[in-house]
Each structure stands twice: as C-alpha cells, then as structure tokens.
Amino acid sequence: MKKKMEIHRRLDKTPDARDTCDMTVELRTRLDGAIKAFIIDMDGVIYHGNRLLRGAAELVEWLRRSGKRFLFLTNSSERSPPELSQKLSRLGIEVEPEHFYTSALATAGFLASQKPGGSAFVIGEPGLTNALYDSGYSMNNVNPDYVVIGESRGYGLESIERAVRLVLGGARLVGTNPDLSGPSETGLVPACGALVAPIELTTGKKAYFVGKPNPLMMRHALRRLGATREETAIIGDRMDTDIIAGIEADIETILVLSGVTSLVEIGRFSYAPRHVLEGVFEIPGE
C-alpha cells in the first residue's frame, strides 16, 4: 500500500500534492471498474520516437485482460493507423489498426464535411496526404481550397513561401494539430503548431487546428469507442492538448510525466488533471 501511495498523485491545490492512501484505493477501484474505455496518447506516453516507454506493453496487456475498450488518439499526422500498428509491432506490442485514430484522419474528415471533393496544398507526410486522398480530396499547388500543414520532414523555405502565397491568394489555412513541440529520443522537436507559425505571422491569417484539444477529436474518439464520457478516461503527457481536451469533454484525466509536461509546469495552467502518474507502468493492476 505504501508503494502505491508513493507513485500516485492527485492535484488538489498545489502541483506536487501527494494523495492519501484512501484516494489511491479509489483510483485503483475506478480503473478496475467504473472506467470502461481509455483514450491514450502515444508520443510521450507509449514511446519516445522509436524507444518504447516503461510499462507500455503491460498497459496493453492489462487493457485486453480487463476487457477495456481503448483507442490510441495521436495528434501526429505522419503515419496512418496501419503504419502505427506496424510501428508498435516493431517495438514488441501487437495492436490492430482499428485501435488508432490520428489528427490526419480527423483533418481529412473535417475538410470533406466542409467542402466535399475539394483540393489542398499539403505540407506533411504520407499519413496526411493519404487520409486526404481517401476522403476525396486532390492535391493542388496552384489554386487550392485549403493549405494544410502537418508534421513534415520536407518542411523548408520554398514550401513556406508557396503556402504563404496560396493563403494570401484565398486558400484557407488548416493545421492538423496545435502542438508546438513533441518528445523524441533526443529531446523536444518542433511540431505542427511551430511549423504553422511562420505562415500565420507572414499572412496575418490564423490557422484552424483540428487535433486535440479540438472537441471534434474527442467526439470522434468516443464514437469509435462506443463509450460514454462517464466511463471514459484519457491518458496523456500534455496539459495543453490531452488534459484540456479531457476536461472539456468531461472525462477522467490522467497526466503521465513521461513526456512533455513536467510536474513543476502543471501549476502554470489554470486547470489541473484529475490524476498525475509517473508513467503508464503504474496503471496495470498487480
């Protein structure tokens, strides 16, 4: 019991407030009982780049053993669900593609609902372009309806200049997610929000971001899980996307300290997660 009390925290008034033994038992009871479905972030929660984080395999095993519904919900737009499934397989965890939902899929769905059969100039990886193709969109670098930005290894001055010209020419600016940075094996790296910023600053146009904490992502996740908000929890490593998304969706929030947000940084926000854990290794029952 003492070990559990050491590793579990709940935020009441101060960022580093330790919870009581009774509350730890309450959390354990909720994880094993009332919470039937989990929305789980990936970068900083399950892995850093190509390095699996402690307890990730055990978490998936526990979810399956306990009969929990789960969906990996990532703001990264680089990979498709089959590619994410293959990545976890390479890291030693077998998870079917239907357990993944990405900001690329959410962005493609949003654009298809706004302007069916439209076109886009895209700065992004295959996970994003393929999602757009599958939604009925075509690629257009002359007069597109949208300029869509996601994480990209080919990001450069030439593509930024073209995006700026197209936005000034009337194309609407959309970002797959607002993350400014993300974790990797070597530390933080720029993410979509940082890549969109030069285009916003140059054009004076604000992007619309589809990924977390946009309620669109959470509604899609709950529908895919077939779960109600009362029986769902979100596990994430970012206060500004995962936790605020969970709070605004009125579901249980669990922040893990294995990614972007550190314990000391939590107090800088005007809201707090329901629970704070060192990592997902704490979640499976004994």
Residue 196 in contact with residue 173, Cβ under 8 Å?
A: yes
Q: Is the bond into 213 cis (omega within 30 degrees of 0)? A: yes
Report the 10 Å Cβ neighbour count for 73. Answer: 29
State the Cα–Cα distance between residues 29 and 41, nearest whole angstrom.
22
Structure tokens that stand for 224 in this block: 């895919």
Which residues, 6+ apart, have CB-to-CB distance to 71 below 8 Å?
37, 38, 39, 40, 99, 100, 101, 221, 224, 225
Residue 107 in contact with residue 176, Cβ under 8 Å?
A: yes
Choice among 43, 145, 237, 242 that is catalytic = 43
DSSP category for residue 270: S
CA dihedral 132, 136, 139, 144 (to 10 degrees): -100
Active-site residue, 43 included: yes
Active-site residue, 41 included: yes
Choice among 16, 22, 41, 134 that is catalytic = 41
State the Cα–Cα distance between residues 99 and 134, nearest whole angstrom.
19
Which residues, 6+ apart, have CB-to-CB distance to 163 below 8 Å?
121, 123, 147, 149, 173, 199
Residue 186 in contact with residue 146, Cβ under 8 Å?
A: no
Q: Which of 102, 158, 93, 161 has its CA nearest to residue 126? A: 102
Give, for 203, the enclosing helix (H) or strand (E).
helix 192-203
Active site residues: 41, 43
